[in-house]
Structure 1
Amino acid sequence: MTQDAGGDAAAIDARLDAVCAEGWAIWERFDREVREPGFHPFVAADYDVVRAALQRLAARRPARGRFLEWGSASGIITIMADIVGFDACGIELDAKLVETARALAARHGSRARFVAGSFLPTGYRWRARDGDTRKGTIGDGPSGYLQLGHALDDFDVVFGYPWGGEADLMHDVMRQYGNPDALLLLHDTNLGVRAFRGGREVTL
């Protein structure tokens, strides 16, 4: 590694450290002020685990691919994806969290973009194999893709942090609307970040 490359890596690590630190502070405040009085589906991912996965993925992709986070909440993961080299976007149903994410991106010099809306494409209908149409914590709202100016199949990497039972829905959305060559990254509390392409798990 050259000295310049080492310096770039150190600068990236410093930016990621700062974003993660502020992310935990935002989450603690959100948990205290919003989640304790009443339920909200936003739960912070393990930022260190996701960060490591993004850095491994970015190291294998010299070109700046498109990254999308489903349910981007405070924006930490989308901003990290931007910092490590992706053209990163996030869709979040809670408009106040979108404002938080945009402000956070601005403070950290990130080009990550955020829109308020649903990550479900217009017209999508979920039906599990047993016929159940419940979507868990995934709320209803206008689809966010029009605001982004991209359809789901424009993205090379899609990240989601599903609650229990929601992973099947995310796989179904990717199967119907995603690029078959794209990676779907799903963060599992117990298993870390798992990668799928065309519905099959692959090594990240």
Structure 2
Amino acid sequence: MPLRPIKVPDSIKQLAYFDGAEELIDSANEAIEAFMLEDEDVIENFVNCDFHLFDQVLTWILDEHLLTGNRFLEFGSGFGVGSMLASMRGMESVGIEIEPRLVEHSTRVIEELGSDAKIYCGSFIPRGIEGLPDLASDVDHVDGEEGDVYDEIGMEVDDFDLIFAFPWPGEHSFFEAIFEASAAKGALLLTYRGREGMHLLRNE
């Protein structure tokens, strides 16, 4: 199925933050800062997203009725902030993170903030992706191993309507290939691209 780009307008930066989102982001950022200061072993692949911009684009996606359903999945969820912001809006929200320490800390933050988001430890890459070794050979910041975490979740990638990821520069095509091969028709892939902002694709 081809992927169709959907332009995210610059005007989203003028949108008000969702009720409670700023407080959630502030609390999460404090927890992230504390984690970075006290943890001796640096997790090289852990980089913060612009959560305020994510909140605004999520508002826009919902206001424009772009979703086919109400399920959110975060590839590489880190501290689960994206998952919590989606959950605030009533979405069934799941994050997958391969680093156990981040899962432990994000779960603690989620509990402290009273979020319904669920975080699972494992690889977000589902089984059965054709040509996975070749796809994974071009990425340095993603564990290219497929996993069984979806069995634990009780859902597959094609059960989700919006998937969010923050790829490293030059690795967007890997996430897009995984999405195209496993997501349902009509599902959306939202990626944060640093200075380029948010990028949105629909699986057709």
Task: Report the TM-score, using the length of structure 1 for normalisation.
Answer: 0.81
Contact 2:17 2:56 in 1 (8 A): no
Indicate which of 19, 41, 52 corresponds to 2:45.
Answer: 41
**2:54 maps to 1:78:** no
Q: Deviations over 1:25-77 (max 9, x none)?
A: 1222233344x754520111011111111122223349861000000011111
Secondary structure, in 3 states, of the residue corresponding to 1:114? strand
C-alpha spacing 1:38/1:95, structure 2 compared with 1 (3 Å): closer
Report the Cα offset of residue 114 of structure 1: 0.9
**2:131 maps to 1:127:** no
Indicate which of 64, 69, 77 corresponds to 2:74.
Answer: 69
C-alpha spacing 1:143/1:193, structure 2 compared with 1 (3 Å): farther
- Moved beyond 6 Å, runs of 4+: none
Equivalent-residue separation in structure 2 for 1:163 and 1:30 (angstroms): 21
Instruction: Give the number of the structure with larger relative contact order, counting CA–CA contacts within 8 Å between residues 6 or more apart.
Output: 2
- Partner amino acid for 1:127? D
Equivalent-residue separation in structure 2 for 1:117 and 1:29 (angstroms): 24
Secondary structure, in 3 states, of the residue corresponding to 1:51? helix
Between stretches 90-99 and 133-142, larger displacement belongs to 133-142
Can you give the 5+ residue segments of structure 1 that lack an aligned partner in the other structure?
Answer: 1-9, 200-204
Indicate which of 163, 166, 174 corresponds to 2:171.
Answer: 166
Indicate which of 52, 59, 79 corresponds to 1:55.
Answer: 59
Secondary structure, in 3 states, of the residue corresponding to 1:190? helix
Contact 2:72 2:160 in 1 (8 A): yes
The CA RMSD over aligned residues, in Å, is 2.4
Indicate which of 72, 84, 93 corresponds to 1:88.
Answer: 93
Residues 1-204 of structure 1 mapped to structure 2, 5 A cutoff: 13=19, 15-34=20-39, 38-61=42-65, 65-124=70-129, 125-128=132-135, 133-139=137-143, 140=145, 142-198=147-203
Equivalent-residue separation in structure 2 for 1:92 and 1:190 (angstroms): 24
C-alpha spacing 1:26/1:157, structure 2 compared with 1 (3 Å): same
- Partner amino acid for 1:98? V
Report the Cα offset of residue 81 of structure 1: 0.5
Identity of aligned residues (%): 27
Contact 2:72 2:92 in 1 (8 A): yes
C-alpha spacing 1:119/1:22, structure 2 compared with 1 (3 Å): same
C-alpha spacing 1:198/1:64, structure 2 compared with 1 (3 Å): closer
Task: Report the TM-score, using the length of structure 2 for normalisation.
Answer: 0.81
Equivalent-residue separation in structure 2 for 1:29 and 1:108 (angstroms): 16
